[in-house]
Amino acid sequence: MPSSAVIFAKRSLSLSKIQFAMGIVIASAGIVLFNAGNHLTLNGHALVNGQLALLSVSLMAEGILLSSIPLILLYVYDKNNGVLEYLLSLGWNQYDIFKRYLEAALFLALTIFIYELAANVAVNVVIGTSVTLILSLVVSAVTAALGFSVVSFVTVAMVDFSSLLKQRVGGNSPLAYTLGAPIIALTFLLAFIFPFFTGVLIELLIAGVVGALSIVLLILSSRLIRREKMLP
């Protein structure tokens, strides 16, 4: 991870820690839900194992999304106090600037994901079975796919869609979050509709579509983002 990503991530946490902390809380809820589901049994059968696993994926992905919100706030803050304007004057273009914020958002998301992965593996190794460890890795992989694709989309949307706003407003972070949160909300429903593996496939499909959309927006960013939208 480039050092600038770490610097921007640290800066964002200096501004606001609450979303990151809430991300940890919600991710922890997902971890507890997943592992409880794998260890509670009824008449010798795991209790609604697949549904809880799918719900835990949604919770852990939501945790990852929340953890990246400070970075979006930092972007708005930097725009309003002239930091982005100064970076443009140093010869950075829109893409250079945007890339730093995206890398930092993914760095924050990675931090939460590592916590989720380590916690799930630790719980399963200590009190679980080899079956639940494999399931744990599957759940973590789906969480990563969904979480990182939504974080990328929200971060790209933060910059690109602010260019579509008629009036320059500082609060384009709610706009970005408004676009990202329903994607996670949709995955919550899957747990109640589909069996585990179908749900997993649909979640991977959503992650793929969102990821592809993010890449397209990223490629178009230098056209979509007008420089004047980065000025205070």
Closer CB to other proteins, 42 or 90, in the complex: 90
Verify binding: residue 82, other proteins, rule CB under 8 A: yes
Verify binding: residue 6, other proteins, rule CB under 8 A: no
Least spacing, CB of residue 226 vs other proteins, in Å? 7
CB 69 within 8 A of CB 173: yes
Beta bridge partners of 42: 45
Which x/- pattern over 90-129 shows residues binding other proteins (rule: CB under 8 A)? xxx-------------------------------------
Verify binding: residue 222, other proteins, rule CB under 8 A: no
Closer CB to other proteins, 58 or 172, in the complex: 172
Q: Which of 1, 6, 7, 205 binds other proteins (CB under 8 A)?
A: 7
Tell me the C-alpha to C-alpha distance, in Å, between residue 190 and each of 33, 46, 105: 16, 19, 26
Token digits for 109?
Answer: 């998301």
Neighbours of 100 (CB within 10 A): 18
CB 12 within 8 A of CB 101: no
Verify binding: residue 223, other proteins, rule CB under 8 A: no
Local structure of 41: helix, strand or coil: strand
CB 173 within 8 A of CB 114: no
Closer CB to other proteins, 92 or 194, in the complex: 92
State whether the Cα torsion 59-191-120-33 is positive or negative: positive
Closer CB to other proteins, 26 or 74, in the complex: 74
Verify binding: residue 85, other proteins, rule CB under 8 A: yes
Least spacing, CB of residue 24 vs other proteins, in Å? 21
Verify binding: residue 39, other proteins, rule CB under 8 A: no
Q: What are phi and psi of 42, to 5 degrees?
A: -130, 120
Token digits for 49?
Answer: 């194992």
Binding region for other proteins (CB under 8 A): 4, 7, 11, 14-15, 78, 81-83, 85-92, 226-228, 231-232
